[in-house]
Amino acid sequence: MQQKYFNHKTIVTIISISLSILLLFQGCTKKTTNERSNLTNTPSSSSTITENINLTNSTEFNNFLDNMFIEYISFSPLEMSLLISSPKHYGLEDTSDKLDDYSDESLSEQYDNLSKNLELLNCFDVRGLTEQQQLSYKIIKYYLELNLAGKEFSDYTYNIKHTLGFHIGIPLTLSQIPIENKNDAYNFINRLKQFPTSIKQLMKSENMKAGKGYIQPEYISNKVIEQCKAFMTSPENNFLYLSFCDYINNLNDLSDLEKKSIKTECINTLNEYVYPAYINLIAELEKIKSQTIITSGVYTFPKGQEYYAHLIKINTGTNITPDDLFEWANNSLIESSTNIQNILKNNPELSSLDKIQPTPFNSFDELYKKCEQLTKDNFYDYNIPKINSKTIPPYLEKDLPSAFYLPVSIDMKKYGNMFLQNSLHNTLNINDFVVVCHEGIPGHHFQFSIAYQQKNIPNIRKAISFSCFSEGWASYVEGMALNFIDYKNPLINELMINNLNASYALLTLIDIYLHYYGISREEIINNYSIYFGNQIEAIVDRAIANPGETLHYAYGRYFINNLKEKTMKSLGEDFDIKEFHDIILMNGEIPLFLLEEIVTNYINTKKANSI
């Protein structure tokens, strides 16, 4: 495989701009538990449910989708706790006291059931389905085929990494699950007691991968080890315990004596189960971390370029090739940086960000009201309740994104949490406004809430994820937020939008250079530090730990913007921004190529009706 070297035309084009790059590279997700949860979760014990269906009509297709959803949440106790509030409502056993199965055997079973479900799906005659069912058919088929295509690369996934790996994701997920009564409290403690088993399952897999050299670079493992040590603070100060206490203090079915007793049991469980499991995780990582064949991107893996091409398909929801994606990012960077230079050349007084920034907000409530006004001006009223806000544990701030979001439950009875770094609550500036728009309204919280309200969207579609859509949407919202800010000069809004475009283009180029063209970590850091300053190492290491992740932000945002421009051009004066956004959001998360079909049909129908 031939390496690609830096296009120095790109480096020269931007020159050294006094504008700081907006690093709104958030970490929002439906899942924080483990990368292995990305498969359709279908246990063999439940697969007979779908295999016995009489595949004759649209009613049976709905049954197939319903059963597929039940299989999905039955396989993952943590997903069940996050996605639904009452397992009994679905006729399911309550698994609120259990963690997931992270063994290789479980992963193999998931792939087997992906194949079974795809085989069953292909038995349906699409012509006999309703229009909405046909859309569901396309979405589920694409999802199953895409996941099955990734089976040969399953060893390449980094499950224990410094950016929301297992050791971070599971504690954060548990802190998200409400404790509403005494039984919930003991379920929480029982889950803590299963940490040793879960880590043993994960490390068995990691040891097998290490034997092939397929684990993350050693410096990433060292970051994980540091995080594990920081996690094991005195139990009374551990964020898991503090979160537990917040819930316990508000319970009405426990006496003060019972509350004190159950808090003590939580501390003992951390000491006797959780911390020893983390000590074991550290010891295992110390043993295997040097066995990796990776120092930078997945280019080094056997068939590494093919793997990255697969990740591009996952993270863009399209069939764009790596070379075409590189050309798009490079052209976007050149266009945006040229626009920035032209604005600054003609308006040198705008060259200092400090002088053009509006006054910070006085409170988080004031900031959130600004988000609400942006939403009111550009969207229909969907009656979305206010988001909950939590603080990221301080010891994780240097490695995690500035914010991330864990969504509402699909039955709308548990509301989502936005995790923010503590510094964001203190600064409350325009960048913070953009972040909260991304995570809250009209970003993730808004998008998920609207989708989950729709009764015509099957639950399985609400459960599975297409991050090219969800992150593309939230990143699209960032541009809306920057345009909404009153800088007293529209050129500043234009400057900030181009700066955002350049930021995402740069991040995309870093990702492609690392993982597809084989450029070293050191060379990336040296060449891009002029744009990102002392943040460059954290940015590059995140890109290394999460190959392809940047793409669903950057390309998804571009794709939705492109659809808006296409719609505006086609409809002219008939274009309605609220109606356009409704069309984008009403079908939930879908691959971008299907979103384009929906928008095209909308344009054609509206034009036909206006004749």
Q: pLDDT tens digits, residue range 514-535?
A: 999 999 999 999 999 999 999 9
- pLDDT of 45: 34
The distance of Cα 487 from the centroid of its chain, to the nearest Å, equals 31
CA-nearest of 407, 452, 437, 409 to 585 is 452
Q: pLDDT tens digits, residue range 293-311?
A: 988 999 999 999 999 999 9
Domain spans of the chain? 8-28+310-609, 38-156, 159-293
- pLDDT of 35: 47
Phi and psi torsions of 417, nearest 5°: -120, 135
Establish how many alpha carbons lie within 13 A of residue 270's alpha carbon, considering only the half-sphere containing its beta carbon: 19
Structure-token pair, residue 363: 């409170």
- pLDDT of 208: 95
**Cα angle: 468, vertex 471, 474; to 5 degrees:** 140
- pLDDT of 82: 87
Q: Which residues contact 494 (CB under 8 A, 6 or more apart)?
A: 339, 343
Q: pLDDT tens digits, residue range 35-60?
A: 444 443 333 333 333 444 445 678 89
- pLDDT of 29: 52
Compute how many other C-beta atoms are within 10 angstroms of the C-beta atom of residue 554: 28
Compute how many other C-beta atoms are within 10 angstroms of the C-beta atom of residue 16: 6
CA pseudo-torsion sign 209, 211, 212, 213: positive
Q: Cα separation of 379 and 411, whole Å? A: 23
pLDDT band at residue 17 using 50, 70 and 90 as cut-offs: very low
pLDDT band at residue 28 using 50, 70 and 90 as cut-offs: low
- pLDDT of 415: 65
- pLDDT of 112: 93
Whether 320 has a pLDDT exceeding 80, the answer reads yes
Q: pLDDT tens digits, residue range 371-414?
A: 999 999 999 999 988 888 878 888 777 766 778 887 778 887 77
CA-nearest of 388, 564, 598, 365 to 483 is 564
The whole-chain average pLDDT of the chain stands at 88
Question: Higher model confidence: residue 19 or residue 254?
Answer: 254
